[in-house]
Structure 1
Amino acid sequence: MRPAARNNAEWCDAVCRAHGLAGEFGAGVWSSARRTPPLYPDAVSLTPEASAADLVARIDTTSPGCTVKDSFACLDLEPLGFEVLFEAQWIHRPAGEALVGPPPAVHWEPLRSADSLPAWETAWNDGEAGDGLFRPELLAGDATFLAGTTSEGRIVAGAVASRSDFVVGISNLFAVGEASGGEESAWAGCLTEAARLWPGLPVVGYESGESLDMAVRQGFTAIGPLRIWLRTA
């Protein structure tokens, strides 16, 4: 689980830095002293030994919406004014694992330029124009935006593949409309691209509910729980 947690923290750090926020890795924790962009945590625990008090001391708990990713579901943040927002499972898929089910319904490839990023974000946002959450600076780092496009060039599916030393993390998976083939087809598409781009690396991520069931059908194994805590006090 540690490589998956580290990979996810590195992606969170990249998103923050693209917004001009300097995250910090230290003492078993990644954290941002300033509030992070929407949907991204203010801190991520990297080991089960991480201290709840130390973690919370590193972040801004006074602004609304402060969240913590408890990567090993072992922190008790309730006394510090947090409540559990949701729970999920880390997932792992070995390198070289054969795809399960039908092939992708659309053509998949990495985004080639920042000009395509607004269309990708709009599709990810279920057709509503985004507000620039995903900045062009991200395209120059270790994250690859994968897009599933129709024959007319319309983006109808996608995911972010973030490479680290030992794994590739898949996040922000989406599929919109019948043309996309649905979420199962999106998994097939992004996994095919991940295997092509990084053939020797296993794939990790986290999911819950029906999305977790789909990932398991695509060859992933659930390897441990995590919790997202929201500051409410």
Structure 2
Amino acid sequence: MDASNTERVRQAVRNNAEWCAAFCRAHGIAGESGPYAWTSPRRTPLYYPDAVTLTPEASPRDIVGRIDLAAPGASVKDSFASLDLTGDGFDVLFDAEWIHHPAPEATGEGWQPVRTEGELAEWERAWSDGDSEGLFPPALLAETAHTFLAERDAEGRVVAGAIGSRSGQVVGISNLYAVDGDQDAAWAGCLATVARAWPGLAVVGYESGDDLAAALRAGFTATGPLSVWLHRG
């Protein structure tokens, strides 16, 4: 990995860890950020890791013992795909790539921020196709570094969305979705929104599979691998 990509990955990793920490705070879970990893001593909510490594020098001892392995479903985001946790009872759940986009240009009107509890609940229903409720607590609306973004159709229904997280000189995009499945259109609208809301800032995140392919079509480059490990217990 060249020096520019190394720095881009580190920016994306730190950004993602800060979002995970904010998400857990909203659920009343206080994580701990050390020199090698962010960890949560309590099991985190669905879809969110119990640990995020912050440097490729992180080792299993920086994680195991700092997270709850008694409750099922513990996971670790191995941000540099550099760990081997098989001996600690983990298997790789999936691999992905960190992505980076230069500061986008402002085109179109973009999406709107979610401001109320009702709008947040609507955003979550659209994101989950009606299967999720309360995963994103209203307390997240008070997190000024993190913004829920929504696109609405002519009838006012949420048809696409994402979460934007500002840290340093980047904006991290996570949970990007389109109700009709058109990820290309969703990325176009999301990037236009970033250009308007956070002008001059690069965009980072991580994706895999078809979602990664859509991000690359939108002008992102893959900057480095990551792995997510799931505890067998």
Q: Distance in 2 between matches of 1:74 and 1:227?
A: 8
In structure 2, give the amino acid aligned to 1:190.
C
Q: Distance in 1 between matches of 2:104 and 2:128?
A: 31
Render the CA deviation track for 1:104-125: whole Å, top value 9, x for unaligned: 9xx6211122221111000000
Unmatched 5+ residue regions in structure 2? 1-8
Q: Distance in 1 between matches of 2:95 and 2:201?
A: 26
Q: 1:186: how far off? A: 0.7
| TM-score (ref. length: structure 1) | 0.92
Counterpart of 1:58 in structure 2 is: 66
Q: Distance in 1 between matches of 2:106 and 2:199?
A: 12
Counterpart of 2:6 in structure 1 is: none
Counterpart of 2:90 in structure 1 is: 82
Does residue 4 of the first structure (1) align with residue 3 of the second (2)?
A: no
Unmatched 5+ residue regions in structure 1? none
CA RMSD of aligned residues (A): 1.6
In structure 1, give the amino acid aligned to 2:231.
R
Q: Distance in 1 between matches of 2:218 and 2:36?
A: 31
In structure 2, which of residues 129, 137, 140 is the aligned counterpart of residue 138 of structure 1? 140
Moved over 4 A (4+): none
Change in 2 beyond 3 A, CA 1:62/1:169: same
Counterpart of 2:26 in structure 1 is: 18
Does residue 159 of the first structure (1) align with residue 167 of the second (2)?
A: no
Q: 1:154: how far off? A: 0.3
Q: Distance in 2 between matches of 1:166 and 1:44?
A: 20
Does residue 203 of the first structure (1) align with residue 207 of the second (2)?
A: no
Q: 1:156: how far off? A: 1.1
Q: Distance in 2 between matches of 1:19 and 1:67?
A: 17
Q: Distance in 2 between matches of 1:196 and 1:67?
A: 35
Counterpart of 2:112 in structure 1 is: 109
Instruction: State the identity %.
Output: 61
Matches within 5 A, 1:23-42: 23-42=31-50
Q: Is contact 2:150-2:160 (8 Å) kept?
A: yes
Q: Distance in 1 between matches of 2:105 and 2:218?
A: 9
| TM-score (ref. length: structure 2) | 0.92
Q: Distance in 2 between matches of 1:208 and 1:98?
A: 26
Q: Is contact 1:69-1:226 (8 Å) kept?
A: yes
Q: Is contact 2:36-2:62 (8 Å) kept?
A: no
In structure 2, give the amino acid aligned to 1:14.
A
Local SS of the residue matching 1:56: coil
